[in-house]
């Protein structure tokens, strides 16, 4: 194991990693007044070792099915993505459209279509407007700063782009990991209505890249929820082009641990950005559960708290009752004993050994004046801990989704 330093890059994005370029254009796929970026490409100047984590839904979008086929090869050179149309519930014609989308991109880049991955997000049940995509792909201009445009192009009901990057220094080695993501609604653990694209210029062995991505996803994207709904389009892709010229990282390499830590930091940043930008949200909810008997129990308990409609609405109303938290714990499926539960809200201890403590209501109200509400639970049964992130549930969420067309 080699020690090192991980630093976030100011203005970092998915093209902060060496050898990656991106760009986006307004192809007209989004049905909005005026031009809106809705088609983009992420490209590496050399072939990449590639890994992915895809939706757990039994019903999968055409792009997800195509990515499943191509990720078996462990290599890719580019990702093409559109917003405005998710190409889901479209059957074989939709799969043909996804293949055509990668073929058009391959022609523009001078690459093999099999080396192009694809993602789509937006309204469902409609065929991709291939003519628009054909024209749009030709218009995309790739640059090392294009990650910022790409982050905007994948947005749907998001209110802001989500992007970051870190630089890792360990001994004589230096490499970068960057990423972008989108998601605001239909967000629930075990992948959500989200897209995430990650890059690194580190040289990484394929099996370790897959393992590192799955581990990072488990503690980040799989620990967020906005509304409890999972999408058929969820996709997280990680491309490693090796241009940092480090010795290839494998599970037993000195750089393995710091690579996993850096990747997890990037994924956590993006996951929390998604949760805080939930549709109609005004506050981020962070729930940490300590003292669980197993990691699975810790995750179950934390996720049940942040997905509870009662907890979410009370956070919005600035009136969170500790009783709602205990109720969530009781139905979570995790092992709990009422007489052992401790709870703090915003650093204020409200429950000890399952019984309420005396606290000032004014202190609790002060907690809700910020943009984050921190819930800390200790089950006092074991040593496992986990954290989950969600957001409050507002009337704006109902308004957005009651008007959203499929």
Catalytic residues: 193
Calculate the alpha carbon distances from 198 to 51, 248, 273, 388, 406 in Å. 10, 18, 15, 21, 28
Interior angle at CA 222, CA 193 and CA 349, nearest 5: 120
CA torsion, points 54, 57, 63, 65, in degrees to nearest 10?
90
3-state secondary structure of 8: strand
Q: How far apart are CA 61 and CA 234, in angstroms?
A: 9
**What does the alpha-carbon distance between residue 357 and residue 376 come to, in Å, rounded to a whole number?**
15
CB 182 within 8 A of CB 278: no
CA 329 vs. chain centroid, Å, equals 25
Closest CA relative to residue 202, chosen from 159, 165, 179, 168 = 168
DSSP track, 295-350: HHHHHHHHHHHHH-HHHHHHHHTT---HHHHHHHHHHSSS---GGG-EEEETTEEE
């Amino acid at each position: 194991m080699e020690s090192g330093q991980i630093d976030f890059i100011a203005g970092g994005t998915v093209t902060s990693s060496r050898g990656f370029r991106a760009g986006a254009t307004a192809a007209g796929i989004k049905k909005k007044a005026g031009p809106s970026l809705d088609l983009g490409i992420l490209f590496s100047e050399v072939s990449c070792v590639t890994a992915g984590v895809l939706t757990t839904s039994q019903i999968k979008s055409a792009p997800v099915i195509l990515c499943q086929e191509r990720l078996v090869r462990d290599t890719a050179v580019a990702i093409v993505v559109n917003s405005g149309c998710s190409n889901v519930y479209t059957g074989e014609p939709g799969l043909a459209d996804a293949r055509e989308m990668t073929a058009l991109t391959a022609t523009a880049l001078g690459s093999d279509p099999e080396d192009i991955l694809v993602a789509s997000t937006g309204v469902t049940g409609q065929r991709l407007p291939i003519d628009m995509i054909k024209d749009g792909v030709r218009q995309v201009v790739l640059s090392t700063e294009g990650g910022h445009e790409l982050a905007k192009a994948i947005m749907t009901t998001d209110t802001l782009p989500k992007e970051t990057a870190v630089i890792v220094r360990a001994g004589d080695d230096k490499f970068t990991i960057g990423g972008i993501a989108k998601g605001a609604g239909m967000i629930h653990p075990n992948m959500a209505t989200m897209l995430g694209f990650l890059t690194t210029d580190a040289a990484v062995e394929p099996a370790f890249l897959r393992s590192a991505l799955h581990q990072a996803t488990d503690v980040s994207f799989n620990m967020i929820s906005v509304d409890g709904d999972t999408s058929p389009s969820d996709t997280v892709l990680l491309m490693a082009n090796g241009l940092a010229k480090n010795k290839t990282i494998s599970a037993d390499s000195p750089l393995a641990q710091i690579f996993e830590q850096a990747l997890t930091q990037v994924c956590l940043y993006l996951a929390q950005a998604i949760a805080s930008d939930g549709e109609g949200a005004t506050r981020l909810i962070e729930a940490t559960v300590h003292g669980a008997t197993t990691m699975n129990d810790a995750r179950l308990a934390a996720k049940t708290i942040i997905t509870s409609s009662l907890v979410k609405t009370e956070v919005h109303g600035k009136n969170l009752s500790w009783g709602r938290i205990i109720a969530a714990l009781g139905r979570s499926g995790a092992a709990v004993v009422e007489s052992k539960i401790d709870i703090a809200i915003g650093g204020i201890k409200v429950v000890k050994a399952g019984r309420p403590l005396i606290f000032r209501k004014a202190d609790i109200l002060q907690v809700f004046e910020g943009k984050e509400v921190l819930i800390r639970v200790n089950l006092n049964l074991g040593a496992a801990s986990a954290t989950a992130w969600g957001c409050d549930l507002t009337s704006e969420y109902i308004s957005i989704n009651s008007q959203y067309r499929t």
